């Protein structure tokens, strides 16, 4: 039988709780659809620092490398915030992206009908918002040379932002491919009026666009994009941008949907391998109380089914189950209007499994 | 008599129209308060490219340098968008900031009560929003070394982001000083979990904060700030950040108020000299039709009175006049609910002058 290997990284904070519910969904998928999954757990982030002295242990990387996909909960927390760079969970995140060649981060941001009111934007502005931010994930200022030096004006810190043609071309192609399966609109975001990397970015995107005449391309400056996301969110289809701008804009886009506890993300490389994780963080303030929302992590499994395994029917089943449970009025505390009626993490997971 | 010299740069697009109304306000201030202004016009931006072959002519710089303050309309437009770097309006903007030593950009973003509905955010979320973004303006990736080189992966473009202790310290002090005159809360925005410049930024801000024990300091990561501006805009008082992050966040903050046609900005250096301009751009699509909104430029004059000249009474008079005219229901097209009742640029300017 075709057994799919999934590396499971529970991580820190609410990570273990939400991942546990996602694993129940995996199990239920086996029963319902006859697929087979082999999961292997690995330490990563803060817990790996505590137990192994490094956020990304060798073994964890090996487990991921021998898997077909990775499911990640969340990493980080105040406990490790003041550690030196090598002993910080974020360093593990950057390391795993680079080591696994995950150059593309896909972040769908859309509105759950029944949660429209959760957004701080007016419902009529949000209406129809359904966009994907495609963020370059292994280049730019995140991975360029960094150092300090002494100057006449005191110590100076330097970060370097670099992009080469190949890096830009592969992410641009991926964004065009995704746009082609959707509303066929691509907004490429840069700061070409100031940055050399952005000018190269724009040149390459324009060159690649010749292969996608069916996709309408617009160039948007990053400052303007931050505004337009607020003014006309529903007019965007696919947004492609470099690492740092993508970090900022994908969070802005997620927040404006009002559904940040519900959004999944995928980090992809060449081929079908991918790392899947909820957009929300480790929420250390509510960890261990059994009240966190497992939906984003469960939907990350659905995204894995679609993008890595091609199990579309199973993905449909999960997404429908989530919609059904929400439509029936069930809410975890983060999305409940009446907090006194909120249900817990396990109850929510069970309802979704039952509805599949 | 104490004659204040003001360099007036009308610029491109709607720039000349809105600046003309602001000049009427200067004139009225002379009559009402006995002050004396000497204005000198200078070419800058696209029009300077057309007439002088450079966005920032020597003479313009001289006019600015011998003035006490600069009033700028707006620059840029599609006509010059595909020019080479040296012949672009933006290059003039970056050049004038550097040449005049304007290291700090002050962008107040607040809600005009009668325009609350213009925002895409819910009124109850916006309620009480009144913040200032203090953006470092002459450092960082905007001014670092930029170049291209050939690599095995095709051409590579490089931008360098650098900050030294002095640059960070002077902007931090200014932000703390401003916070001290307000609600005494400062949010310093960085990406210290990834960038070396951000780690130095945070170190220096923390050191400077020892001199401002009365100001409450929080550190916010830039991606989180992009979210929190949407989630809880009214909780921010003063935000201080580096050049690129400030470009993005100040535009997001301006847009969420829904009053972008109304917001003024100041760019300051050491001493009292400053350059004042509306936050909105040159709006080439409506230029020359006499329908643009002069309020942001008029309020830029009020900001100049406060920050450069200390003419607080005159500034009060302008701000009160604007509020009165708006309260009486007068609107330009950009802020009118009923567009058929919109008045033009000159009519709006005249109403404000009359109300002073
Ligand atoms: C934790 C941090 C390094 C990371 C990033 O900036 O990439 C996070 O914000 C994200 O978006 O995944
Ligand atoms: C035109 C551009 C160079 C400029 C900037 O990025 O600083 C503008 O966006 C601004 O904010 O004044």
Shortest distance between the Cα of A303 and any Cα of chain B, in A, equals 23
Which of A223, A316, A327, A354 is catalytic? The answer is A223
Any residues with CB less than 8 A from the CB of A117 and at least 6 apart, and which?
A: A123, A258, A337
DSSP B253-310: HHHHHT-GGG-EEEEE-SSS-EEEEESS---GGGTTTT----HHHHHHHHHHIIIII-
Displacement of CA A343 from its chain's centroid (Å)? 25
Burial-class residue A175 by CB neighbours within 10 Å (0-12, 13-18, 19+).
buried
Q: Do A242 and A353 fall into the same domain?
A: no
Evaluate if residue B247 carries a pLDDT over 80: yes
Residues of A in contact with B199 (CB under 8 A): 157
8 Å CB contact between A297 and A263: no
Cα–Cα distance for residue pair B305/B195, rounded to 1 Å? 38
Q: Residue A232 maps to which CATH number?
A: 3.40.718.10
Q: Do B160 and B217 fall into the same domain?
A: yes
Final residue before a domain boundary, out of A261, A295, A326 = A261
Domain extent at residue B280: 1-100+273-356
Cα–Cα distance for residue pair A118/A138, rounded to 1 Å? 33
Any residues with CB less than 8 A from the CB of B156 and at least 6 apart, and which?
A: A162, A163, A164, A165, A200, B148, B149, B150
Q: Is the CB of A263 under 6 A from ligand 1?
A: no
Shortest distance between the Cα of B245 and any Cα of chain A, in A, equals 9
In the 3-class helix/strand/coil scheme, how is A91-141 assigned residue by residue? HHHHHHHHHCCCCEEEEEEECCHHHHHHCCECHHHHCCCEEEEEEECCCHH
Instruction: Report the pLDDT value the prediction gives residue B115, as an integer from 0 to 100.
Output: 86
Domain count for chain B, please give it: 2
- Is A251 catalytic? The answer is yes
Query: Of all protein residues, whose CA lies closest to atom 2 belonging to ligand 1?
Result: A90
- Is A285 catalytic? The answer is no
Can you give the length of chain A in residues? 356
8 Å CB contact between B302 and B315: yes
Quick check: is A267 in a domain?
Answer: no
Q: Do A116 and A215 fall into the same domain?
A: yes
Q: Do A89 and A158 fall into the same domain?
A: no
Shortest distance between the Cα of A252 and any Cα of chain B, in A, equals 5
Instruction: Report the pLDDT value the prediction gives residue B79, as an integer from 0 to 100.
Output: 95
Quick check: is B152 in a domain?
Answer: yes
Are A194 and B222 inside 8 Å of each other by CB? no
Copy the structure tokens of residue B159.
Answer: 């931008």
Any residues with CB less than 8 A from the CB of A82 and at least 6 apart, and which?
A: none
Cα–Cα distance for residue pair B350/B314, rounded to 1 Å? 17
Quick check: is B105 in a domain?
Answer: no
Quick check: is B213 in a domain?
Answer: yes
Final residue before a domain boundary, out of B233, B259, B285 = B259
Query: Of all protein residues, whose CA lies closest to atom 6 belonging to ligand 1?
Result: A247
A332 φ, ψ (degrees, to nearest 5): -85, 170
DSSP structural state of residue A332: B
Establish, for the pair of chains A and B, how many residue pairs have beta carbons separated by less than 8 Å: 176
CA of A223 to the centre of ligand 2 (A): 8
- Of residues B90, B147, B153, nearest to A167 (C-beta): B153
Give B267-304 pLDDT, tens digit per residue.
Answer: 999 999 999 999 999 999 999 999 999 999 999 999 99
Q: Do B81 and B18 fall into the same domain?
A: yes
Instruction: Residue B87: name the closest of B114, B49, B117, B113 by CA.
Output: B49
Cα–Cα distance for residue pair A136/A172, rounded to 1 Å? 9
Q: Which helix (H) or strand (E) holds A24?
A: helix A15-33
The C-alpha angle A105, A106, A108, rounded to 5 degrees, equals 150
Evaluate if residue B143 carries a pLDDT over 90: yes
Cα–Cα distance for residue pair A322/A302, rounded to 1 Å? 11
Please identify every stretch of chain A with a pLDDT value under 70, giving residue numbers as ranges. Answer: 1
Of A93, A103, A138, A263, best ligand 1 pocket probe by most atoms within 8 Å of the beta carbon: A93
CA of A98 to the centre of ligand 1 (A): 13
Asked if residue B349 belongs to a known ligand binding site, the reply is: no
- Is B327 catalytic? The answer is no
Are B231 and A165 inside 8 Å of each other by CB? no
Of B93, B143, B252, best ligand 2 pocket probe by most atoms within 8 Å of the beta carbon: B93
Cα–Cα distance for residue pair B17/B294, rounded to 1 Å? 8
8 Å CB contact between A27 and A355: no
8 Å CB contact between A108 and A132: yes
Shortest distance between the Cα of B214 and any Cα of chain A, in A, equals 24
Q: Which ligand ends up closest to the CA of A88? A: 1
Any residues with CB less than 8 A from the CB of A97 and at least 6 apart, and which?
A: A137, A138, A267, A275
What band does B1 get if pLDDT is binned at 50, 70 and 90? low
Residue ranges of alpha helices (H) inside A214-280 are: 222-231, 243-257
DSSP structural state of residue A86: G
Any residues with CB less than 8 A from the CB of B247 and at least 6 apart, and which?
A: A191, A222, A223, B135
Q: Do B83 and B124 fall into the same domain?
A: no
Burial-class residue A58 by CB neighbours within 10 Å (0-12, 13-18, 19+).
exposed
What band does B117 get if pLDDT is binned at 50, 70 and 90? confident
Burial-class residue A251 by CB neighbours within 10 Å (0-12, 13-18, 19+).
buried
Task: List beta partners, residue A148.
Answer: A157
Q: Do A242 and A313 fall into the same domain?
A: no
Which of A5, A24, A184, A247 is catalytic? The answer is A247
Q: Is the CB of B227 under 6 A from ligand 1?
A: no
Instruction: Report the pLDDT value the prediction gives residue A299, as an integer from 0 to 100.
Output: 98
B316: number of Cβ within 10 Å: 13
* Mean pLDDT confidence for B77-94: 93
CA of A276 to the centre of ligand 1 (A): 14
Q: Do B245 and B337 fall into the same domain?
A: no
CA of A81 to the centre of ligand 1 (A): 14
- Sheet harboring B3-11: ordered strands across? B36-41, B3-11, B69-74, B274-278, B264-268, B104-110, B130-136, B238-241, B185-190, B216-221
Copy the structure tokens of residue A218.
Answer: 């617009």
Instruction: Residue A236: name the closest of A151, A133, A313, A306 by CA.
Output: A133
Q: Do B130 and B212 fall into the same domain?
A: yes
- Is B142 catalytic? The answer is yes
Cα–Cα distance for residue pair A296/A265, rounded to 1 Å? 9
Cα separations in angstroms, A83 against A80, A218, A347: 5, 42, 36
8 Å CB contact between B196 and B162: no
* Mean pLDDT confidence for B298-317: 97
Quick check: is B78 in a domain?
Answer: yes
Window from A190-204, B112-126, B176-190 with minimum mean pLDDT: B112-126
Instruction: Report the pLDDT value the prediction gives residue B162, as an integer from 0 to 100.
Output: 98
Cα separations in angstroms, B156 against A162, A188, B84: 7, 19, 19
Cα separations in angstroms, A176 against A128, A183, A336, B19, B161: 21, 11, 37, 43, 30
Instruction: Residue A303: name the closest of A44, A16, A110, A89 by CA.
Output: A110
- Is B251 catalytic? The answer is yes
8 Å CB contact between A167 and A131: no
Cα–Cα distance for residue pair A350/A1, rounded to 1 Å? 28
Cα–Cα distance for residue pair A143/A148, rounded to 1 Å? 16
Instruction: Residue A227: name the closest of B263, B272, B310, B8 by CA.
Output: B263
Final residue before a domain boundary, out of A237, A261, A285 = A261
Residues of B in contact with A226 (CB under 8 A): 226, 248-249, 251-252, 255
Query: Of all protein residues, whose CA lies closest to atom 3 belonging to ligand 1?
Result: A90
8 Å CB contact between A230 and B255: yes
Q: Do A123 and A214 fall into the same domain?
A: yes
Relative to beta strand A36-41, strand A3-11 is parallel
Quick check: is A332 in a domain?
Answer: yes
Of A223, A224, A225, A245, best ligand 2 pocket probe by most atoms within 8 Å of the beta carbon: A223
pTM (global) more than 0.95: yes
Q: Do A115 and A245 fall into the same domain?
A: yes
Q: Do B240 and B354 fall into the same domain?
A: no
Count H helices and E strands in chain A, helices first.
Answer: 12, 12
Quick check: is B264 in a domain?
Answer: no
Quick check: is A105 in a domain?
Answer: no
Instruction: Report the pLDDT value the prediction gives residue B338, as an integer from 0 to 100.
Output: 87
Residues of A in contact with B94 (CB under 8 A): 194
CA of A205 to the centre of ligand 1 (A): 24
Q: Which helix (H) or strand (E) holds A154?
A: strand A154-164
Q: Residue ranges of A for the binding site for Mg(2+)?
A: 223, 247, 251
């Amino acid at each position: 039988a075709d057994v799919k290997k999934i590396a499971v990284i529970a991580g820190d904070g609410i990570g273990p709780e939400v991942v546990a519910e996602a694993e129940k969904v995996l199990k239920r998928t086996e029963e319902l659809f006859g697929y087979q999954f082999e999961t292997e757990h690995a330490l990563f982030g803060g817990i790996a620092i505590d137990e192994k002295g490094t956020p990304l242990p060798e073994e964890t990387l090996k487990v991921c490398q021998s898997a077909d996909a990775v499911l990640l909960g969340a990493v980080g927390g105040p406990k490790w915030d003041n550690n030196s760079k090598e002993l910080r969970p974020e360093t593990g995140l950057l390391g795993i992206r680079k080591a696994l060649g995950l150059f593309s981060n896909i972040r769908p941001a859309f509105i759950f009908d029944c949660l429209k009111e959760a957004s701080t934007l007016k419902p009529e502005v949000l209406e129809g918002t359904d966009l994907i931010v495609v963020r370059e994930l292994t280049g730019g200022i995140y991975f360029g040379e960094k150092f300090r030096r002494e100057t006449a004006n005191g110590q100076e810190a330097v970060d370097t932002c670099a992009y080469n043609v190949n890096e830009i071309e592969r992410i641009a192609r991926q964004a065009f491919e995704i746009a082609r399966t959707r509303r066929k609109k691509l907004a490429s975001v840069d700061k070409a009026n100031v940055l050399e990397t952005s000018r190269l970015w724009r040149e390459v995107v324009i060159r690649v666009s010749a292969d996608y005449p069916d996709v309408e391309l617009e160039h948007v400056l990053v400052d303007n994009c931050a505004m337009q996301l607020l003014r006309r969110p529903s007019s965007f289809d696919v947004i492609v941008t470099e690492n740092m701008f993508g970090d900022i804009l994908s969070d802005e886009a997620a927040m404006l949907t009002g559904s940040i506890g519900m959004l999944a993300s995928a980090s992809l490389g060449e081929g079908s391998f991918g790392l899947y994780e909820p957009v929300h963080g480790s929420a250390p303030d509510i960890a261990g109380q059994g009240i966190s929302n497992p939906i984003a992590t469960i939907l990350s499994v659905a995204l894995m089914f679609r993008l890595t395994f091609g199990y579309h029917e199973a993905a449909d089943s999960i997404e429908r189950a989530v919609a059904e449970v929400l439509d029936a009025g069930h809410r975890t505390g983060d999305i409940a209007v009446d907090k006194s009626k909120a249900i817990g993490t396990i109850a929510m997971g069970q309802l979704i499994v039952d509805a599949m």
